[in-house]
Structure 1
Amino acid sequence: MQFEKSAFKFLQDLQKNNNRDWFTEYKPVFVNIQSKIKEVFLEMQENLEMHDEIEKMKIYRIYRDVRFSKDKTPYNPRFAVSFSRLGKHLRGGYFLQIKPGETLLGGGFWQPEKEDLQRIRKEIEQDASEFREILQDKEYLKYFGGQFGGDELKSAPRGFDKEHKDIDLLRKKGFVAIRNFTDAEVLDSNFLSELDVTFKALRPFFNLFSDVLTTNLNGESLV
């Protein structure tokens, strides 16, 4: 199973005709494509469950909430899905966006809760060596370029030394790994396998953060 050219064509057309009249006319086309996309996402979940424990799958709606946005276009021309890991001990989640020219895979902690972010920062402040090891991991370097994506502060977070040797990590507001794909890669018959291999490369990252978020600074379990 794979993503079809018809799905890409629909998204490209929607980008050019992002209005309700056009979408209403082509709603039957969308419904048919959406059904096929869901089948692909379900296969992704099956692949993930071969090597991880997944709690739930969330398929994102194509309809945009424009109430508080300057961009009033009613639709988001993409197909997107996320998978949450199961249980208190398994932190982190997987994400995929299919969008012409902007397809990406992501994983990690995009907007962690305040308490979780503080816990991660305290761990980095005390000893960031294991975080650095993740960034230098062979598979992580191959697929994610040896960096954590996500927003960051311009200066040190409150209560942390702005001269700390790991200030680049302490400034992070989230910790995510991102891999971009070309349109040709998305339409390749091997794409789902490539996604799964990439998701597997996140495991050391998830293992470290799960350990940090389920223990205190002394390494004692909190769950």
Structure 2
Amino acid sequence: MSATHISPSVYNFLNQLKENNNRDWFNEHKDEFKASQQLVKKFFAELFETFQKYDEVDQVKLFRIYRDVRFSANKQPYKEHFSGTFSRKKPQLRGGYYLHFEPGNTFLACGFWAPEKEDLNRIRKEFEIDATEIRAIVNAPDFKKEFGSLEGDELKTAPRGFDKNHPAIDLIKKKQYIVTKNFTDKEVMSPDFQEKVIEAYKTIRPFFDYMSDVLTTDLNGVSLI
């Protein structure tokens, strides 16, 4: 059975929503929204099943299109994209997968978007001791071809307790450890798009395996779980 692919109707709906982001228009086009949402849900569900062949993902979450505008200056009631996440099985597996559908701005992301304070310090301590392995992973040809480089917000200087002249300060300063890959609308509409997403997610596994090992052991390599 062929994999579900995203039809032009989904992006046609999102393009129209961008021009008419109000409740009256949305209610008048509720059927188009439901059809688009159902197709995206099916796409995510199939990805979730495929994940089980090479990773332990225990949850898929498709985000609601309704925006929480209570504390936002932007009062538009609807998001102009579809997106969702896949969670790896905790506590032994760390990291997460994200997929974002938006005309002209479709991308996937993987990594650690908002690590807890303790986890972030543990990662930094590991890099302080030895950054050889993580550099080998993110500089591997397949990794660089798929994602380019490691991304994420970072501090302007060294975190408290770390040497600003440390050879791995570029990694230690980071507050996030993520990678992204963008896709054109043409790629999204192609029948093999789901395969491209899976291949990208497979490429991140050495990074996830390494980070999971770091976050489930102490500085002496003793298991914490």
TM-score after normalising by structure 2: 0.96
| Of 122, 126, 130, the match for 1:127 | 130
* Structure 1 counterpart of 2:65: 62
Deviations 1:63-102 (A, max 9, x none): 1111121111111111111000113111111110000111
* Structure 1 counterpart of 2:153: 151
Deviations 1:161-190 (A, max 9, x none): 111111111111010111111111111111
CA shift, 1:201, in A, is 0.1
| Of 166, 176, 179, the match for 1:177 | 179
Tell me if 1:13 matches 2:16.
yes
**% same residue:** 50
* Counterparts of 2:181 and 2:107, CA distance in 1: 6
Unaligned runs of 5+ in 1: none
* Structure 2 counterpart of 1:161: 163
- The one-letter code sitting in structure 2 at the alignment partner of 1:153 is L
* Equivalent residue runs for 1:1-223 within 5 Å: 1-145=4-148, 147-223=149-225
* Counterparts of 1:181 and 1:57, CA distance in 2: 21
* Counterparts of 2:139 and 2:61, CA distance in 1: 31
SS at match of 1:96: strand
- The one-letter code sitting in structure 2 at the alignment partner of 1:60 is F
Unaligned runs of 5+ in 2: none
TM-score after normalising by structure 1: 0.97
CA shift, 1:139, in A, is 1.4
Q: CA RMSD in A?
A: 0.9
Task: Give the aligned length.
Answer: 222
Deviations 1:116-147 (A, max 9, x none): 000000001111111101111121111001x2
